[in-house]
Amino acid sequence: MTILDGKALSKKIRDKVKNDVETLQHNNITPGLAVILVGNDPASSAYVKMKSKACKEAGIYSIVHEMPSSINQENILEIIDLMNKNQNIDGILVQLPLPEHIDTTVILEAIDPTKDVDGFHPYNVGRVVAGLDSFIPATPYGVMELLKEYDIDPKGKDVCVVGASNIVGKPMATLLLNANATVDICHIYTKDLKEHTLKADIICVGVGVVNLIKEDMVKDDVIIIDIGINRIEDGSLVGDVDFKNVSSKCSYITPVPGGVGPMTIAMLLKNTIKSAKNRKGI
């Protein structure tokens, strides 16, 4: 069993990003990232702080627009419009989830697709589906880079993606399909999850359910990508896979924490650099 070390790979990517930033700065270009945070959700706030810290370490200019949960939709759209027009900003992302009174689709569609470093704008979603150059959502992008780092080729493999969110599950399935895998997508309405996971060569799961994937649900030598992250009663973080009992059957598995999580921020930084280069014609 081999651990897929996302922490180590993310460091390599972030070091490369830092070098790219230094090269851009020699040409008087400093990449900029704007983050919009609405409300005071602890998980969202912690994640935004991690993004800001990563930007600072890489030399990327970053700004966080913090807004109360009571803010109206028009105010958020005004900020996005300002960031769209700001020539110092290369990437814009809205931290999700948003409060219930805000229409997430309207907000995401307001972002300039050329600054959509989260890859959630329908324009970029469509280009990913078509296999065209685009901004790829950071978490699925990170998973693909992790597979590549360990010479795991999805081509011809049976892959089960558990979870069908617009942020992770759907783009994950699309990227794997583009890599010529045979993709099976499961979700909350799937009748018999075990029937699907048992025949999979690779399982990618990200639904936020502790120990959803158990030992009797996977075959020998399976590759497990655990995208879930859950905080349990003792305060520790675990994924969606029963790591202790499942790992012994795996050929490869991601740990939680230290697997997919670090890759998400690394790929966000990589997307921001890509945007800066695109916008400056480099």
Instruction: List the CATH number of the domain containing 212.
Output: 3.40.50.720
253 and 127 Cβ atoms separated by less than 8 Å: no
**105 and 144, same structural domain?**
no
pTM: 0.94
**153 and 107, same structural domain?**
no
Q: Which of 20, 95, 201, 226 is catalytic?
A: 95
Q: Which of 90, 112, 116, 118 is catalytic?
A: 118
pLDDT at 25 over 80: yes
Residues in contact with 136: Cβ distance below 8 Å, sequence separation at least 6, in sequence order: 119, 124, 128, 144, 171, 175, 267, 271
- CA dist 26 and 22 (Å) reads 6
pLDDT at 279 over 90: no
Domain membership of residue 280 (yes or no) is no
Domain membership of residue 278 (yes or no) is no
Residues in contact with 240: Cβ distance below 8 Å, sequence separation at least 6, in sequence order: 162, 205, 206, 207, 208, 209, 210, 211, 212, 213, 226, 227, 228, 230
The terminus-to-terminus CA distance of the chain in angstroms comes to: 42
**230 and 150, same structural domain?**
yes
Instruction: Please state the rounded mean pLDDT for residues 62-89.
Output: 96
pLDDT at 44 over 90: no
pLDDT at 45: 87
**243 and 155, same structural domain?**
yes
Give me the number of domains the chain comprises. Answer: 2
Domain that holds residue 74: 28-112
pLDDT at 46: 86
What's the CATH number where 56 sits?
3.40.50.10860
**90 and 166, same structural domain?**
no
Domain membership of residue 101 (yes or no) is yes
pLDDT in tens, 159-208: 999 999 999 999 999 999 999 999 999 999 999 999 999 999 999 999 99
Domain membership of residue 83 (yes or no) is yes
pLDDT at 41 over 90: no
**241 and 155, same structural domain?**
yes
pLDDT at 42 over 90: no
Q: In angstroms, what CA-CA distances link 141 with 61, 173, 202, 208, 268?
A: 23, 11, 16, 19, 9
Instruction: Please state the rounded mean pLDDT for residues 201-221.
Output: 97
Domain membership of residue 222 (yes or no) is yes
**108 and 142, same structural domain?**
no
- CA dist 121 and 256 (Å) reads 28
Structure tokens at 276: 């800066």
pLDDT at 97: 92
**234 and 185, same structural domain?**
yes
pLDDT at 127: 97
pLDDT at 7 over 90: yes
Give me the percent of the chain exceeding a pLDDT of 70.
100
**253 and 168, same structural domain?**
yes
25: annotated active-site residue: no
**237 and 146, same structural domain?**
yes
pLDDT at 282 over 80: no
Domain membership of residue 209 (yes or no) is yes
20: annotated active-site residue: no
Domain membership of residue 4 (yes or no) is no
Structure tokens at 240: 């969606």
Q: Which of 20, 51, 242, 270 is catalytic?
A: 51
pLDDT at 47: 87
- The DSSP output letter for 249 is G
**147 and 77, same structural domain?**
no
pLDDT at 232: 87
Give me the percent of the chain exceeding a pLDDT of 90.
91
Instruction: Please state the rounded mean pLDDT for residues 3-25.
Output: 96
Alpha helix (H) residue ranges in the chain: 6-26, 42-58, 73-85, 104-110, 122-129, 138-149, 169-178, 193-197, 243-246, 260-279
- DSSP lists the bridge partners of residue 226 as 205
118: annotated active-site residue: yes
Collapsing DSSP to helix, strand or coil, 65 comes out as: strand
**144 and 33, same structural domain?**
no
237 and 229 Cβ atoms separated by less than 8 Å: yes
Q: Mean pLDDT in the chain?
A: 95
Domain membership of residue 69 (yes or no) is yes
Instruction: Please state the rounded mean pLDDT for residues 59-67.
Output: 95
pLDDT in tens, 247-267: 999 999 999 999 999 999 999
